[in-house]
Each structure stands twice: as structure tokens, then as C-alpha cells.
């Protein structure tokens, strides 16, 4: 083990020993010290799958800093938001409750919101929104109930008491919506009896009744919910529309885009609010419009996008601060399945010219999309898109098309690009990958052989090698999905060898043998075609050594390799020099069937590695680790 590796190993052990002694090893003097990698005690505890409210409460009593950041810039609450915990809600509320200044929680949330916007994780954004509002309005309800002095026994109430009761009713309704326990029928009765303040707006969060209804996750009766929203908006349109939440600057349209229910409901509600005066170009804290947030979600419904694009006042040139893509480029990246919508974008002022990250054009994005079509490619070429324009990595549109694993019209689009002058002899700047290399990564694609033949006929070099000396045949054999004897036979006809070694001394045949779910027919065919199952790496390790380092190794795959004569007793030259039996005892999850397979095929149970360890000693050490 190198010096740096040993150092990292000791640091990991230090963290483990600290956590085992928790909470006894933590006190008021060291609770805010950096334990490991710039992390304090609360950062480490929040990373654990078994963290509970009691753990957090204990650290808070010791004076732990709730806003401390780890080496990745994440606060404890941000770490908790990424976990699937049994007491997640209670832990989040614990952070809010123990905040020295609750208003500061909104400021902290702003940074959480921004970081989540970068990662495009809208589920976490919505979840945090709900936690924050549930806690906030729970606190407000308690305050209002204490102030309210009216008695339910008195039939007559003063105007002030009636206003207080309406305020409590509003806050209660908001809480019901946020907690998924809303009762729309009861709410409608309260509306008719004038027991709800329709102009309700919380001063701190700026949240109103419309926001609360949209925030609700209840989708049982969408028609009733939609009708209720329409009643509220129709009665006080000016007061309730275009109001933004204070911390994230979300409007009602942003909330709809972040919480898509059923496309028909979302589409109808969006169209209704826009017709009543909702600002279609309103922006949030990150300068994103509602349509922008819709487009960032994969497989957004075309009808929803169209409901925005039909409005001439829509500004499609607005771009979020946290994205380098325009709205048209987002559409090309995630959806791109409608030429009609594409034309509508252009009618609203979208431009094809701007390049994005790494100088990608719209044509590059369209060729990368799973839903792309020949019709759309033809439209772009007619509009002046340059087929051979390259990115900063020296990649034209043809490369992205070849690397697209699920395009249904791949062969037709490839034929069209080649007929219109697309070049085939180029390589990526870093890995030196050619179109044949990336095409060969997906042999499961329909018409794979036809696409391969077409590239070869149009000048692609068969003998091209990447920076690791892999040929296209290496990539074909390293993907077990859709690989057939017919594909291998065709590759061998082109002159590829099953025994051509790359820089890691891996041949196409041995690369296939490291894949899960091996096919005996393919192995037999490769052996008959000259494949060498005894090929060794630079450290003199064979295929069995490589297989047995895989945690999820199946005994079925190991039996197949052994059946065809692979040796089971070789030890590589590098430390620790483990033979396959050592590897199974140390690394593999399903140990017993694999150990039995190796012993049945002649493995020496007493074989020593370079550290003078037997397989029995290694498996004993692994069992002791589990018992600690």
C-alpha cells in the first residue's frame, strides 16, 4: 500500500472508530472540531443511514453548529435531504426548531434551493418546500390560537374575533393541503359561508390559498381541485395571481411546472391561469421561467409545452443563471419529438445559432436525443445547420448520432447525413474515439450491422484504435447486451482478432468473459474461431483472476469459464498476489458456491499469497469484520 493510500485508509478507520464511540466520544469541547476531511461531528452523523432525531438533538445540546459545511460545501440539512430516512421529516423539523433565528432558515434554504437547481433534483426541492411550509404554518397556527380569545360557546363574536377565526381557518386549510389531508368539500362550504379570507397572504412567506392548493400532493379528485382553484381565482383575481413566494420567487405557474400531476390537469390549469392574467414570462430566483422548468424535466408532455408556445407574448430567449442552455436547446436535449413545437419555438424568436457548453449546436443536441427523427434533422439542415460543425472536443453531429443507443431511425438519419457530406474519419480529442468505436458500444441497437457497414463503405477506418489501443471489436465484445454470434462472425470477417490486446493486455475475448450472464454458445463459437482463454495481463493474471475480483460474481459464469479450461490456481505478480480462491474469500458476495466451484476445478485450499496468507485466513478476517 502506497503512502497516500495508507493515509486515506487510516482516515477512514478514524471516522469509523469515531462513529462507533458516538455519542460517548463527543463532548462540548470537540463537537465543532474537524474530525475527518473537513467534516464536523454533525456532518458525519448526517451521512449515516441510521441517523435519528435523538442523535441530532444530542449534538445540538452539545452546541453543534447547524450551518457548518463539509469539504463539498454541503450543510447537514442538505445532506439529510439526499437521504431516504425513516425520521427524515422529524430531523428536518428539529433543524428548524433549533435555529437561533427562524428567518435565517429561509436564507439557508435559498442556498439549498440554488444548489438543488444546479443538480436538477426537483423532487428534493418540492420536498423541502413542503417541510419548510408545514413547520412554518404549524408555528403560525399555534401563535394565532393563543391570540384568539373568542369562545365557541358565545353565539355573538366581535368583528376582530371573526377576522381572527378566518385567519385560523386559512392557516388550518394551508396546513391540511401541505399535509396531504385536504378536504375540498369542507373548504367549499366554508367559502359559501364566508368563513375563509380569500385575500389571505402570509407576510413572511408570501404564500396564498392558490399556492397552498397547488402545493398539495393530493390528486384523487383533480376535477374538484381544479374547480376549487377556479372559484378562488374568479373571486379575487388581482389579489391572488402573480404573487411570488418570498424565498424562491416562485409564482403559481412555477409551482405547477415543478409539481406535474396528470398532463391534462396541468395543461388545463396552466391555460386557465394564463387566461386570467398570470405572467407567462415571470422568473424565479434563478431567472428561470415556468416553461424553462417544464423543459428541464425529461419527457414533458407536448400539450403542456404547446399551451405556452401558442401565446405570442412568450419570451423564449430568457435563460436561467444556472443553465447554459436556452429553452429551445432544452427542448432539443430532453424531448425533441415534435417538429410542430420546434417550428413554434422559432416563430417565438428562438435562434439556432447560439452554441452551448463545449460548443454544442442544436444539431448536436438533436442527434443525441432518443426521440429525434429524420424529419427534424432534414428541417435543421434546410435551415442552414452545418452537418460537419464540430464541438470543442472535435466531434460533429455524426458522432452523437452513433453514440445514441435508443434512436429508432438511426440508420435512416445516418444515411441522410452521409449523403449530405458528413465526414467519417475523425476522432475525439481526449479518448481518440471514432464513430465506429461509439457505435460498437451499443450492439443491441436495431440495424447495428447495417449502420456499421454503412460507415465502413463511406470511409471509416476499420483499424482505428483509441488511446487505450481498443479497436471497435473490443467495444462490441465488452457489451453483453444484444451480442450475437452473427455480430461476432461479421466482425471477424472484417479482419478483427479475438486476441488483439489493448494497453491493459485485455483481448476482445477476455473482455467478453468479464461480463455478467455469459452465453456458452458465444464462448464456444469464440474458442472455435481462435479465441485464447488463457490470455494473461501484464501482471500474469488470467481471466479467472479478473472474474473473481467482481463483488457480484455468479457461480454460473465461473463454471462456464472453468469448463473451457481456464486455470484456477494462478497468482499475479503484484502484491498481495491473491489467487482466485483468495479473491472469492475476500471480495465476492456469494462466497460458498464460488468457493465450491474453484475447489471442484482443482484450486489449492492451502495456497499462500505474497503476504503468506491462506484463503481460510482471509475469509476468517472478513467474518470478524462483520461481527465487530
> Cell 401563535 maps to which residue?
143
- Residue 11: is its pLDDT beyond 60? no
CA–chain centroid gap for 520, Å, is 36
CB 565 within 8 A of CB 524: no
pLDDT of 19: 47
pLDDT of 180: 62
Q: How far apart are CA 137 and CA 356, in angstroms?
A: 42
Q: Encode pLDDT of 23-81 as tens digits.
A: 446 666 677 777 666 678 888 888 887 888 888 888 888 888 877 888 777 778 778 87
- Residue 104: is its pLDDT beyond 60? no
Q: Encode pLDDT of 252-299 as tens digits.
A: 998 888 765 577 788 888 889 998 989 999 998 888 899 988 888 777
pLDDT of 41: 82
What CA dihedral angle connects 379, 380, 385 and 388, to 10 degrees? -90
Q: Which of 247, 226, 252 has the alpha carbon at shortest distance from 129? A: 247
Distances (CA, A) of 141 to 175, 202, 235, 294, 322: 9, 12, 25, 34, 36
Beta-bridge partners for 39: 36
CA–chain centroid gap for 125, Å, is 14
Confidence class of residue 246 from pLDDT cuts 50, 70 and 90?
confident
How confident is the model over 172-176, as a mean pLDDT?
77
Q: Encode pLDDT of 139-169 as tens digits.
A: 777 777 777 665 444 445 677 777 777 777 7
**Highest mean pLDDT, choosing among 118-122, 146-150, 220-224, 355-359:** 355-359
How confident is the model over 593-599, as a mean pLDDT?
93
Average the pLDDT over each of 161-165, 308-312, 359-363, 600-604 and give the range with the smallest value.
161-165
DSSP letter for 357, please.
G
> What angle (nearest 5°) sits at the alpha carbon of residue 338, between those of residues 386 and 327?
70
Average pLDDT for the chain: 81
pLDDT of 379: 92
pLDDT of 195: 73
The cell numbers describing 26, all together, are 463527543
- Residue 3: is its pLDDT beyond 60? no
pLDDT of 518: 82
501: alpha, beta or left, given left = phi > 0 and alpha = psi -120 to 50?
beta
List of residues 6+ apart from 394 with CB closer than 8 A: 426, 427, 428, 429
Distances (CA, A) of 464 to 448, 468, 497: 19, 11, 13
Return the CA Rg of the chain.
31
pLDDT of 2: 38
pTM (predicted TM-score): 0.74
Burial call 81-112: b when 16+ CB within 10 Å, e when fewer: beeebebbeebbbbbbeebeeeeebbebbeeb
In order, the DSSP letters of 304-327 are: HHHHHHT-TT--TT---TT-S--H
- Residue 6: is its pLDDT beyond 60? no
Q: Which of 305, 297, 304, 290 has the alpha carbon at shortest distance from 334? A: 297
Q: How far apart are CA 357 and CA 239, in angstroms?
A: 41
Amino acid at each position: 500500500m502506497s503512502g497516500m493510500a495508507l493515509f486515506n485508509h487510516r482516515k477512514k478507520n478514524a471516522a469509523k472508530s469515531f462513529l462507533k464511540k458516538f455519542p460517548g466520544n463527543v463532548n462540548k469541547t470537540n463537537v465543532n472540531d474537524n474530525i475527518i476531511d473537513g467534516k464536523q461531528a454533525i456532518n458525519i452523523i448526517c451521512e449515516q443511514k441510521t441517523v435519528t432525531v435523538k442523535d441530532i438533538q444530542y449534538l445540538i445540546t452539545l452546541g453543534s453548529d447547524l450551518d457548518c459545511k463539509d469539504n463539498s460545501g454541503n450543510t447537514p440539512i442538505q445532506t439529510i435531504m439526499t437521504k431516504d430516512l425513516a425520521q427524515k421529516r422529524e430531523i428536518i423539523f428539529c433543524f428548524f426548531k433549533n435555529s437561533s433565528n427562524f428567518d435565517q432558515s429561509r436564507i439557508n434554504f435559498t442556498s439549498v434551493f440554488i444548489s438543488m437547481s444546479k443538480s436538477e433534483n426537483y423532487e428534493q426541492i418540492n420536498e423541502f418546500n413542503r417541510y419548510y411550509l408545514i413547520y412554518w404554518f404549524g408555528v403560525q397556527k399555534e401563535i394565532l390560537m393563543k391570540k384568539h380569545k373568542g369562545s365557541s360557546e358565545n353565539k355573538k363574536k366581535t368583528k376582530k374575533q371573526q377576522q381572527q377565526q378566518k385567519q385560523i381557518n386559512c392557516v388550518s386549510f394551508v396546513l391540511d393541503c401541505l399535509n396531504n389531508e385536504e378536504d375540498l368539500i369542507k373548504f367549499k362550504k366554508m367559502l359559501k359561508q364566508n368563513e375563509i379570507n380569500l385575500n389571505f397572504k402570509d407576510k413572511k412567506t408570501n404564500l396564498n390559498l392558490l399556492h397552498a392548493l397547488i402545493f398539495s400532493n393530493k390528486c384523487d379528485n383533480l376535477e374538484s381541485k381544479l374547480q376549487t382553484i377556479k372559484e378562488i381565482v374568479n373571486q379575487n383575481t388581482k389579489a391572488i395571481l402573480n404573487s411570488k413566494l418570498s424565498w424562491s420567487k416562485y409564482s403559481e405557474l412555477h409551482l405547477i411546472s415543478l409539481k406535474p400531476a396528470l398532463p391534462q390537469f396541468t395543461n388545463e390549469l396552466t391555460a386557465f391561469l394564463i387566461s386570467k392574467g398570470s405572467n407567462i414570462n415571470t422568473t424565479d430566483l434563478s431567472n428561470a421561467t415556468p416553461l424553462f422548468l417544464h423543459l428541464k424535466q425529461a419527457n414533458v408532455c407536448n400539450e403542456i409545452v404547446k399551451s405556452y408556445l401558442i401565446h405570442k407574448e412568450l419570451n423564449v430567449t430568457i435563460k436561467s443563471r444556472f443553465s447554459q442552455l436556452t429553452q429551445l436547446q432544452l427542448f432539443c436535449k430532453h424531448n425533441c419529438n415534435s417538429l410542430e413545437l420546434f417550428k413554434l419555438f422559432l416563430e417565438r424568436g428562438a435562434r439556432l445559432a447560439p452554441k452551448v457548453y463545449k460548443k454544442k449546436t442544436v444539431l448536436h443536441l438533436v442527434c443525441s436525443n432518443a426521440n429525434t427523427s429524420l424529419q427534424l434533422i432534414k428541417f435543421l439542415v434546410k435551415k442552414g445547420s452545418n452537418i460537419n460543425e464540430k464541438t470543442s472536443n472535435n466531434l460533429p453531429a455524426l458522432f452523437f448520432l452513433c453514440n445514441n443507443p435508443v434512436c429508432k431511425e438511426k440508420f435512416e438519419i445516418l444515411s441522410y447525413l452521409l449523403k449530405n457530406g458528413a465526414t467519417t474519419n475523425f476522432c475525439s480529442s481526449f479518448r481518440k474515439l471514432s464513430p465506429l468505436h461509439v457505435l460498437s458500444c451499443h450492439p443491441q441497437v436495431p440495424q447495428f450491422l447495417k449502420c456499421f457497414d454503412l460507415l465502413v463503405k463511406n470511409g471509416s477506418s476499420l483499424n482505428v484504435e483509441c488511446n487505450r489501443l481498443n479497436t471497435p471489436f473490443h467495444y462490441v465484445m465488452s457489451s453483453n447486451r444484444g451480442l450475437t454470434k452473427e455480430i461476432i462472425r461479421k466482425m471477424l470477417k472484417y479482419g478483427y482478432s479475438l486476441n488483439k490486446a489493448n494497453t491493459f493486455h485485455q483481448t476482445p475475448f477476455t473482455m467478453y468473459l468479464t461480463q455478467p450472464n455469459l452465453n456458452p454458445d458465444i464462448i464456444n463459437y469464440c474458442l472455435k474461431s481462435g479465441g485464447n482463454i488463457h490470455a494473461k495481463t501484464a501482471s500474469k493474471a488470467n481471466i479467472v483472476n479478473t472474474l473473481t475480483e467482481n463483488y457480484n460474481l455468479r457461480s454460473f459464469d465461473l463454471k462456464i469459464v472453468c469448463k473451457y479450461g481456464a486455470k484456477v490456481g494462478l497468482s499475479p505478480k503484484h502484491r498481495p498476489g491473491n489467487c482466485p480462491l483468495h479473491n472469492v474469500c475476500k471480495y465476492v458476495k456469494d462466497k460458498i458456491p464460488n468457493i465450491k466451484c474453484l475447489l471442484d476445478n482443482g484450486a489449492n485450499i492451502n495456497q499462500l499469497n505474497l503476504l503468506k496468507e491462506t484463503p481460510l485466513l482471509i475469509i476468517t478476517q472478513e467474518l470478524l469484520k462483520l461481527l465487530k
